[in-house]
């Protein structure tokens, strides 16, 4: 709470129109940010302005609107580059989201290189989107998937990581912040160890990007992926950051327009980065919205947001720990943005429905991370995940609603 003096939470909340909503006549307490964040007026207006004033297809027309739309689209890429500190703009590829970004790397980087006997190393705390694309590559190439186990606290077993990393390993893909546990993984150590063996590393930053400052150059990440809608931007837009050298070595993902320099029926010359990976008319409004979201986050400051959310996390953890029969799943020393929990005798879906009746939106389920649920022997968890606009008072509402739920079932 130390930041509340500098942190003007009310003016931030005023920027998010949906926070005015009442749910069952109660103020909305939106704690499902891990699934998707809400949008500030600046993002909504950026998309609106594009459609009202500057919309046309990009990179094609010589007319004014096409030029304006192209400029806005290209500006968004510049903003992403700055936000993640990539070396150059063409290392930023727009995709439909983190899922497509991972699939792109799996199919265009890993698949052509891997063969029987090779290994791909992931962790037990991956989202399905960082498991299934690699399983597909394993099926296609005969490579084998290896999984770094996690401890009871929800931290990677780093000695096991080092033991599993070998000259057979051809790709490491690891989540930066776990969507189901909140764990912040020691990405730098992982990348350094992998690089010593010449193994490239993909970092799934979907849950990290809204909560932590990310510098892909300092991390020395080979690939870094995230989705726009988890950082206050629109759905359907995401980012693949890749080192220029690696992206250049990769074949295109999809064939079509905008990804070519010239086409004849005999031969097609692919366009340069990043367009090589952006076949077809892109999600122009999505990119423009993401650019506006990044501007908005920069205005508040990602470090400032991180500090506020850390305060919320500490406060919520201490509040929830005091509730009898509540068990927090994921107690890593380094956590960001969320708390997963279960209640004795109350299934997470019932928690979710009853909390909704109190205006509190949380996620209940397996969070697309079924291996984690199995690891902790729970069918599902309830998850409260935080964003820049959440308040300490909302945590109090959450805690009271949880107590009400417990009383109802006992």
Partner 1 sequence: MDNLRDLYQEVILDHNKNPRNFRKMEEPDGFAHGKNPLCGDQIDVYLKITDGVVEDVSFDGNGCAICTSSASMMTTALKGKTEAEAEALFNSFHHALTDEGTFPDDVPLGKLEVLTGVKDYPVRVKCATLAWHTFDAALKKMQGNVSTE
Give me the active site residues, please: 368
Examine residue 408 and tell whether it contacts partner 1 (CB under 8 A). yes
CA–CA separation, 230 and 38 (whole Å): 8
Two structure tokens written together for 257: 């327009």
**Within 13 Å of residue 227, how many CA atoms lie on the same side as its CB?**
19
Span of 91-99, 144-152, 234-242, 349-357 interacting with partner 1 by CB under 8 A = 349-357
Q: Which is nearer to partner 1, 292 or 361 (CB)?
A: 361
Query: Is 36 within 8 Å of 230 (Cβ atoms)?
Result: yes
Examine residue 366 and tell whether it contacts partner 1 (CB under 8 A). yes
- 326-328-333-339 Cα dihedral, nearest 10 degrees: -110
Examine residue 370 and tell whether it contacts partner 1 (CB under 8 A). yes
Adjacent-strand bridge partners of 94: 239
Where are the alpha helices (H) located in 263-301, listed in sequence order? Answer: 284-300
Binder of partner 1 out of 17, 61, 82, 357 (CB under 8 A) = 357
Q: Which is nearer to partner 1, 144 or 350 (CB)?
A: 350
Cβ of residue 99: shortest distance to partner 1, in angstroms?
18
| Helix (H) or strand (E) segment spanning residue 227 | strand 223-227
Binder of partner 1 out of 126, 278, 358, 394 (CB under 8 A) = 358
Examine residue 24 and tell whether it contacts partner 1 (CB under 8 A). yes
Query: Is 309 within 8 Å of 67 (Cβ atoms)?
Result: no
Cβ of residue 17: shortest distance to partner 1, in angstroms?
25
Number of CB atoms found within 10 A of residue 171's CB: 26
Q: Which is nearer to partner 1, 295 or 356 (CB)?
A: 356
Span of 10-18, 40-48, 113-121, 363-371 interacting with partner 1 by CB under 8 A = 363-371
Examine residue 364 and tell whether it contacts partner 1 (CB under 8 A). yes
CA–CA separation, 33 and 265 (whole Å): 48
Cβ of residue 173: shortest distance to partner 1, in angstroms?
24
Examine residue 350 and tell whether it contacts partner 1 (CB under 8 A). yes
Separation in Å, CA 110 to CA 27, 86, 137, 407: 48, 22, 7, 52
Size of the site for partner 1 (CB under 8 A): 21
The dihedral region occupied by 236, where left means phi > 0, alpha psi between -120 and 50, and beta the remainder, is left
Q: Which is nearer to partner 1, 105 or 180 (CB)?
A: 180
Q: Which is nearer to partner 1, 65 or 408 (CB)?
A: 408
Q: Which is nearer to partner 1, 11 or 377 (CB)?
A: 377
Within 386-405, the residues that bind partner 1 by CB under 8 A are 404
Q: Which is nearer to partner 1, 354 or 397 (CB)?
A: 354
Adjacent-strand bridge partners of 173: 202
| Helix (H) or strand (E) segment spanning residue 102 | helix 98-105
Span of 57-65, 157-165, 199-207, 340-348 interacting with partner 1 by CB under 8 A = 340-348
Number of CB atoms found within 10 A of residue 305's CB: 22
Examine residue 384 and tell whether it contacts partner 1 (CB under 8 A). no
Cβ of residue 363: shortest distance to partner 1, in angstroms?
11
From the centroid of its chain, how far is CA 406? Answer: 32
The closest of 351, 326, 324 to 409, measured between CA atoms, is 351
Binder of partner 1 out of 380, 384, 399, 402 (CB under 8 A) = 380
Cβ of residue 67: shortest distance to partner 1, in angstroms?
46
| CA atoms 247, 207, 307, 148: torsion sign | negative
Examine residue 21 and tell whether it contacts partner 1 (CB under 8 A). no
| CA atoms 6, 226, 154, 180: torsion sign | positive
Binder of partner 1 out of 84, 105, 313, 354 (CB under 8 A) = 354
Number of CB atoms found within 10 A of residue 13's CB: 15
Q: Which residue has the tokens 């004849």?
A: 264
Binder of partner 1 out of 80, 346, 362, 388 (CB under 8 A) = 346
Binding site for partner 1 (CB under 8 A): 24, 345-350, 353-354, 357-358, 364-366, 370, 373, 379-380, 404, 408-409
């Amino acid at each position: 709470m130390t930041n509340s003096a500098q942190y003007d939470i009310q003016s931030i909340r005023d920027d998010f129109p949906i926070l005015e909503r009442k749910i069952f006549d109660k103020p909305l307490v939106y704690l499902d940010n891990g699934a998707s964040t809400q949008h500030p007026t600046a993002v909504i207006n950026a998309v609106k302005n594009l459609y009202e004033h500057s919309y046309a297809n990009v990179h094609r027309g010589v007319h004014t609107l096409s030029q304006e739309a192209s400029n806005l689209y290209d500006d968004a890429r510049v903003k992403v580059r700055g936000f993640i500190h990539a070396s150059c703009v063409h290392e930023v590829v727009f995709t439909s989201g983190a899922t497509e970004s991972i699939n792109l790397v799996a199919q265009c980087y890993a698949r052509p290189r891997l063969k029987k006997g090779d290994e791909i190393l992931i962790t037990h705390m991956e989202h399905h989107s960082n498991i299934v694309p690699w399983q597909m590559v394993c099926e296609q190439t005969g490579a084998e998937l290896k999984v770094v186990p996690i401890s009871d606290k929800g931290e990677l077993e780093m000695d096991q990581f080092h033991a599993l990393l070998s000259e057979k390993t051809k790709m490491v893909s690891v989540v930066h912040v776990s969507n189901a546990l909140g764990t912040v993984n020691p990405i730098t150590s992982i990348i350094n160890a992998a690089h010593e063996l010449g193994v490239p590393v993909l970092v799934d930053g979907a849950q990290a990007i809204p909560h932590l400052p990310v510098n892909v150059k300092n991390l020395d990440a080979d690939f870094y992926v995230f989705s726009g809608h988890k950082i206050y931007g629109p759905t359907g837009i995401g980012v693949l950051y890749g080192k220029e050298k690696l992206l250049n070595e990769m074949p295109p993902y999809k064939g079509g327009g905008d990804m070519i320099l010239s086409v004849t029926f005999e031969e097609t010359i692919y366009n340069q980065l990043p367009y090589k990976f952006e076949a077809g008319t892109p999600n122009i409004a999505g990119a423009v919205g993401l650019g506006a979201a990044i501007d908005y986050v920069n205005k508040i400051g990602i470090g400032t947001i991180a500090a506020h959310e850390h305060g919320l996390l500490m406060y919520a953890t201490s509040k929830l720990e005091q509730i009898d029969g509540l068990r927090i799943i994921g107690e890593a020393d380094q956590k960001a943005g969320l708390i997963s929990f279960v209640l004795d005798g109350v299934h997470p879906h019932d928690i979710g429905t009853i909390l909704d009746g109190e205006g509190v939106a949380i996620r209940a389920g397996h969070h697309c991370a079924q291996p984690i649920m199995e690891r902790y022997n729970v069918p599902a968890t309830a998850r409260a995940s935080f964003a820049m606009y959440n308040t300490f008072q909302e945590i109090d509402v959450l805690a009271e609603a949880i107590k009400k739920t417990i009383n109802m079932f006992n």
